[in-house]
Amino acid sequence: MAGKLPDTPAARIVKVDTRSDWNSTGVLLVNGSPFTGVVIARRLVLTAAHVVAGQDPEHVRFLLTPDTAPVAMDAEEVIAFPGASFPYNDLALVRLKKPVPAWVRIYPIYTGPIQPGQRITFIGAGGSGNGDIGVSVGAQADVLRKGENVIDSVVQSVDRSGRVSSFYLYDFDGPEGSGSMGGPTLGNDIETMVVAGDSGSPVFGSIAGRTWLVGINNLGAAPEAGRAMDSRFGTIGGGMLLSYPPFVLWIAGQLKLSAGKDAPAKGK
């Protein structure tokens, strides 16, 4: 989402090319509908489980959109985190039939503690609009948008179901002052909120002078009862915090398994 005018949805579009800092983010086309994923290994894309879980791999494609020419890759396998059930443990991996190009910049996954106040960067394939009005632009398969926010809270549960996972939460602060979870705002042309199509999008953070993959966006909520989740100022977003130990172990295991599958056969 953009802020109020003069900020616009078009101003949030990020150009992704072979030298871009954000070219590991791409569009996951699921039955033709655009969502978002991020490359974590040459044949593995991380996303939200509710985007791809239960889907036939034949209906899933990953699209990178550099300025040179789009690169489309078919899925070979969809691997959901065991027990994933939205919004809990909502992670999945898409194994591609072929590796992504060598120019894709893959960031390491941060496994240390994350505290409220951590500034984060979103890259997503979702729609957009103005924070004081609402969504006005739908998701497009050839457009990525960028914005930032600040983690306001780190929690294990977001309802009364008794289930636990690991979530970061943030609010969409307006141009001035603080939002429903506090503030301050990052500014009208920086602060953002997720929209339909951003499910599975990566969250990056600068920690100790290095860029890390910190989380995966998967949810949005209204700040109070009776208001729809409309992505306007005050709404709340969140996602899966990848430093959660069960996630760390699962991702490490899948990376090891993938490396084994991709290793060349040894002669006797």
Q: How far apart are CA 158 and CA 237, in angstroms?
A: 11
Contact 181, 170 (CB under 8 A): yes
- Residues 190-205: pLDDT tens digits? 999 999 999 999 999 9
- Give one DSSP letter per residue of 185-196, joined into a string: ---TTTB----T
Q: What is the CATH number of domain 25-106+247-262?
A: 2.40.10.10
Contacts of 136 by beta carbon, 8 Å cutoff, 6+ apart = 9, 127, 128, 129, 130
Nearest one of 134, 129, 140, 133 to 8, comparing CA atoms: 129
Class of domain 9-14+108-243: mainly beta
- Residues 69-103: pLDDT tens digits? 789 999 999 999 999 999 999 999 999 999 999 99
pTM of the predicted protein model? 0.95
Q: What does residue 178 show for φ and ψ, rounded to 5 degrees?
A: -120, 155
Task: Pinpoint the residues of the chain covered by CATH 2.40.10.10.
Answer: 9-14+108-243, 25-106+247-262
> Which of 77-91, 173-187, 239-253 shows the lowest mean pLDDT across its residues?
173-187
- Give one DSSP letter per residue of 112-165, joined into a string: S---TT-EEEEEE---EEETTTEEEE---TT--EEEEEE--EEES-SSSSS---
On the question of pLDDT at 37 being above 60, the answer is yes
